[in-house]
Amino acid sequence: MIDLNRLADLRSEIGEEGFTEVADLFVEEMRGAMDHLIRNPLAVTQDDLHFLRGSAANLGLTGFVTCCATAEQRICASKPVDIPALVKTYEASLAAIASILSDRPETI
């Protein structure tokens, strides 16, 4: 669900101090986008999902990236998006990364 190599690369690219700030920023922006989707499930767009997928990819949230990509494909095919599945994967991804960052920061 989490690409530890991507997290290590991000930490290496921006440094230890910047890493936490950038990770928090990505999470906050994804939270805003997810809140919008939850409040307006019929208004979800390909751009919304693309944004979420990109943010998740930057943090190595591979499970959520896959879920967003599937949802994007469904939107492109004029099919409904499974918002509850998207929310569930998002929440599981955030819990997993929070656990990784708080329990084993030396591995990232």
**Which DSSP letter does residue 108 get?**
-
Residue with the bigger pLDDT between 108 and 67: it is 67
Whether pTM exceeds 0.75: yes
Looking at the 3D structure of the chain, how many domains does it have?
1
Hey, how many other C-beta atoms are within 10 angstroms of the C-beta on 107?
10
For 1-45, how does the pLDDT look when each residue is reduced to its tens digit (9 = 90+)?
889 999 889 889 998 778 888 888 889 999 999 999 999 999 999
| Residue in 93, 21, 84, 13 with CA at minimum distance from that of residue 53 | 93
For 52-107, how does the pLDDT look when each residue is reduced to its tens digit (9 = 90+)?
999 999 999 999 999 999 999 999 999 999 999 999 999 999 999 888 777 544 44
Residue 42: domain span: 4-107
Residues contacting residue 50 through CB under 8 Å, at least 6 positions apart = 68, 72
What are the distances in angstroms from CA 1 to CA 13, 14, 34, 48, 69? 22, 23, 18, 21, 14
Q: Phi first, then psi: what are they for 32, rounded to 5°? A: -60, -45
Specify burial of residue 87 (Cβ count, 10 A radius: 0-12, 13-18, 19+): middle
